[in-house]
Structure 1
Amino acid sequence: MTAPLFKGVITALITPLRDGNVDEAAFDRLLERQIAAGVHGVVPMGTTGESASLTLDEHKRVVERCVAVAAGRVRVIAGAGASATDKAIDLARFAKTVGADGTLVVTPYYNRPSQAGLEAHFRAVADAVQIPMLLYNVPGRTGVDLANETVAALADHPNVVGIKDATGDLGRVSWMRNHVASDFALISGDDPSWLGYLAQGGHGVISVSSNVVPEGMVALYDAVQSGDLALARTWQDRLIGLHKGLFLDNSPSPTKFALSRLGLCGEEVRLPLAPTREAVRPDIERAMADAGVVD
């Protein structure tokens, strides 16, 4: 039985900003912290990286820097999603050129293609670039759901190696295990439910919370892998407030606020996002305390 190419705790990296520009020094610090904590991979320029708001040049620069700083110590899965198929192909080609280990390609947003259009879109990207691809299904943001049957059809493509499932629908992972090969990576994109996803045979998580508490996320994953579900539940109970707290406002604003409280970067976001509302900041700080990252 072949293991999935991607598994474990994979951090959906924020992109720190300062005075309107990418703060590369802060980005390097954040990435080094993730690697030191033992995460299994990182995603630059996904949703949490504000890929929809950064320029194409900024997007590519962040991916290139991430690969260079990681230097093979952790897998880099570059965000390469776009509404236009040609743009997604361009981003995937760039990711391959700079040495990324794979790409994360979201369902095209706003134009709401049919299932036939979605399958054709992903096949076009996979045909154009010889790099492992994770499909990314997040209907709450894109307005379109990638059906299970479409995923199963795409799983036959040699470059389509897994899916980030951010639906929060735990029934999907069991369906997938019955319809795709065992080496097809089943990755949760929903921090609150990822323990349940792992328990049903999932292979990991692409996580927002691990920006803030990477050690705790790794500890939960390790507990599941060792069969210690009681310890895994203890970690889940400790982290659940943070999982929820980081979405009390427009993401990734709460995550940047939390990281600023830790002195790791500023909390600046790119319009149309706004800084975290004052009303929810105490709740986020309490969640951070419960998770053990602040006193």
Structure 2
Amino acid sequence: MTFTGAGVALVTPFADGKVDFPALEALIDWQIENEIDAIISCGTTGEASTLSDKEHIDVVKFTIDKVRGRVPVIAGAGSNDTKHAVEMSKALIDAGADGLLMVTPYYNKCTQKGLIEHYLAIADEITVPMIIYSVQGRTGVNISPFAVSRLCRHPNICGIKEASGNISQVVDIAKYCSDQFALYSGNDDSTVPFMALGGKGVISTAANIIPRQMHRMVQDYIAGDTVGAAKQQIELKPLIDALFAEVNPIPVKAALAMMGKIRQEYRLPLCAPSEETLALLQKELKNHGLVE
């Protein structure tokens, strides 16, 4: 297991088309000051799909250097090319990553048999824990409970980020896996229900703007205050909905810009949000005391 609690799927800030490393350093320090339990670098929210390999490795290495061991750093390394995923994994391990997050192959897709072979081929080549990542809405490939039951036996596959939104599927996955295999919610709006099925935490987009709140919600649940955690989940729902009013990470980067943390800059094909989304974000950020 790489961590327990709330891990932030950290954005990658840009300035004039390049990675804004000073803004990234400030985000890292702010996250750790606000009790985040882990940092996930160069995942979906980090716009890894439009980073060059060099940028990808540089962002992960910079993050590791600035974190200085204060929390685990988990690096996104997924690809629809198994060979490329292995090469990227090794480069990120050499950079010092504590673990890897590996999304399912996208576009070319694969059968469940191919998916199992893909993950096992990567796991055989790495030396740090790997979290497999199921997000069918983005990749077109679901990791079935049967596939998880096979993959969880590998000593280098330590958990799953499950973002299918199918709570029944989570029940089936939990049935097949031991307590040593970590289940992480990939959906901010259903973290507490996920924890009720044995989840160890969440890999969170919302934690970019509310790291302390996401940390405390999960820790309160773990500590036994399930009623308090549920109340927090309900209170955060409108803000979380606003953060997903358009495709992630468009709204969360706009929110961080409103908070003065980064510039509102994306890489195409991502673009600026609509005026309606900006107004909704402004309203919810004010409601939660994140902007004046």
Normalising by structure 1, report the TM-score.
0.96
Give the conservation status (yes or no) of the 8 Å contact 1:104–1:133: yes
Provide the residue aligned with 2:16 in structure 1.
19
Provide the residue aligned with 2:263 in structure 1.
266
Give the conservation status (yes or no) of the 8 Å contact 1:186–1:204: yes
2:56 to 56, 59, 68: 59
Provide the residue aligned with 1:167 in structure 2.
164
Give the conservation status (yes or no) of the 8 Å contact 2:2–2:72: no
Provide the residue aligned with 2:236 in structure 1.
239
1:215 to 196, 212, 217: 212
Provide the residue aligned with 1:121 in structure 2.
118
Provide the residue aligned with 1:196 in structure 2.
193
SS of the aligned residue for 2:48 comes to coil
Deviations 1:250-285 (A, max 9, x none): 211111110011111011000110011112111111
The amino acid of 1:91's aligned partner reads M
Using the alignment, how far apart are the partners of 1:11 and 1:95 within structure 2?
18
Using the alignment, how far apart are the partners of 2:173 and 2:3 within structure 1?
16
Give the conservation status (yes or no) of the 8 Å contact 1:250–1:276: no
1:292 is displaced (CA, Å) by 3.0
1:6 is displaced (CA, Å) by 2.4
Using the alignment, how far apart are the partners of 1:131 and 1:219 within structure 2?
27
Provide the residue aligned with 2:222 in structure 1.
225
Deviations 1:68-119 (A, max 9, x none): 1111000001000011001111111012111111000000000110011101
Deviations 1:208-258 (A, max 9, x none): 000011111112112112211222122112211121111111211111110
CA shift in 2, pair 1:78/1:29, >3 Å: same
Provide the residue aligned with 1:79 in structure 2.
76
The amino acid of 2:108's aligned partner reads N
1:294 is displaced (CA, Å) by 2.4
Using the alignment, how far apart are the partners of 1:5 and 1:43 within structure 2?
11
The amino acid of 1:287's aligned partner reads E
Using the alignment, how far apart are the partners of 2:169 and 2:289 within structure 1?
32
Structure 1 residues not aligned, in runs of 5+ = none
Range with greater deviation from structure 2 (62-71 or 225-234): 225-234
Using the alignment, how far apart are the partners of 1:233 and 1:187 within structure 2?
17
The amino acid of 1:47's aligned partner reads T
1:171 is displaced (CA, Å) by 1.9
CA RMSD, 1 decimal: 1.1
1:286 is displaced (CA, Å) by 1.6
Using the alignment, how far apart are the partners of 1:242 and 1:45 within structure 2?
23
Range with greater deviation from structure 2 (124-133 or 221-230): 221-230
Provide the residue aligned with 2:178 in structure 1.
181
1:289 is displaced (CA, Å) by 2.4
1:140 to 127, 137, 140: 137
Provide the residue aligned with 2:275 in structure 1.
278
Answering whether residue 103 of structure 2 is matched by residue 106 of structure 1, we say yes
Structure 2 residues not aligned, in runs of 5+ = none
Using the alignment, how far apart are the partners of 2:194 and 2:229 within structure 1?
13
1:69 to 66, 70, 74: 66
The amino acid of 2:10's aligned partner reads L
Using the alignment, how far apart are the partners of 1:236 and 1:182 within structure 2?
24
Give the conservation status (yes or no) of the 8 Å contact 2:57–2:95: no
